[in-house]
Amino acid sequence: MADGVQLESLKREVAALQWWHTIDLGNGIVTPGLDPTPARLPELQIPQDLTGLSVLDIGAWDGFFSFEAERRGARRVLATDSFCWGQGGWGSKAGFNLARQAIGSRVEDLDIDPLELSPDRIGTFDLVFFIGVLYHMRHPLLALERVFNVTRDRLILQTQVDLSALDRPALAFYQGTELNNDPTNWCGPNPSAVVAMLRAVGFSEVKIISQWFARDVSLADLNGPPVSGHVTVHAWR
């Protein structure tokens, strides 16, 4: 167990960083993430037992889901990111590195853009996380093709959605800082589009696991401001 001096040092290191994920580092130390990350687990429905599986976490940022997969028994976890590890976003890789060290994790890491993913570069994985990334992609269908190519069995995807009143597949394009004053938010597919795109890139089975919308929308609202909401989908090859 870490002594008092080590714990105080860790607390100072944690406090000096800006965190997105809320991660329990043990000994009463929890990172002050802007995102209530543990509360997302019921929506994602990640299998409780990942014993023996290989897991890829695309857009890992501070690493909460990577570490969670390891905690659930995954034999290998690869965390990947680029933008949030210091290539343009307000975040950095410092949080991931500190958390990994603090909890004694063996999660691997690789700086790589989602559009550069391929079996030749990273191999394939039994389970892939693509959580909170799709709507940041300027080329969402291409990104999903890259994700499909490195998925051996199951994908767990969560994304911002929009135009939910439409039954047919549709995708909203966000100009500038239209969504949440964030220029990195590019698109909001509706749930039908998420399912259709996953099938289009090759997944044979696609299921909407959970979805949440800030408010109900009608067709009259479609020309209004973006509607906050998200959907979680599991897809199998």
pLDDT (tens digit, 9 = 90+) per residue, 155-188?
A: 999 999 999 888 899 999 999 888 877 888 889 9
Percent of the chain topping pLDDT 70: 92
Which H, E and C letters describe 17-41, residue by residue? Answer: CCCCCCCEEECCEECCCCCCHHHHH
**Distance between CA atoms of 167 and 191, rounded to whole angstroms?**
9
Give the model's pLDDT for residue 219: 37
Q: Which of 6-10, 64-68, 232-236 is the least confident region? A: 6-10
- Count CB atoms within 10 A of the CB of residue 141: 16
Q: For residues 2 and 21, which has the higher predicted lDDT (pLDDT)?
A: 21
Residue 201 CA: distances (Å) to CA of 46, 83, 145, 229: 22, 24, 5, 24
Answer whether residue 29 shows pLDDT above 70. yes
**Structural fold of domain 47-236:** Rossmann fold (3.40.50)
Name residues whose C-beta falls within 8 Å of residue 134's C-beta, 6 or more positions apart in sequence.
140, 143, 144, 157, 159, 160, 187, 189, 194
DSSP secondary structure code for residue 160 in this structure: E
Give the model's pLDDT for residue 152: 98
Q: Do 33 and 21 contact (CB within 8 A), yes or no?
A: yes
Give the model's pLDDT for residue 35: 92
> What residue spans define the domains of the chain?
47-236
**Distance between CA atoms of 235 and 186, rounded to whole angstroms?**
23
Measure the N-to-C terminal CA separation of the chain; round to a whole number of Å. Answer: 43
Give the model's pLDDT for residue 103: 97
> Model confidence over 30-75: pLDDT tens digits?
999 999 999 999 999 999 999 999 999 999 999 999 999 999 999 9
Q: With the CA atoms of 82, 234, 172 and 146 taken in that order, what torsion angle do they form, in degrees rounded to the nearest 10?
A: 40
Answer whether residue 226 shows pLDDT above 90. no
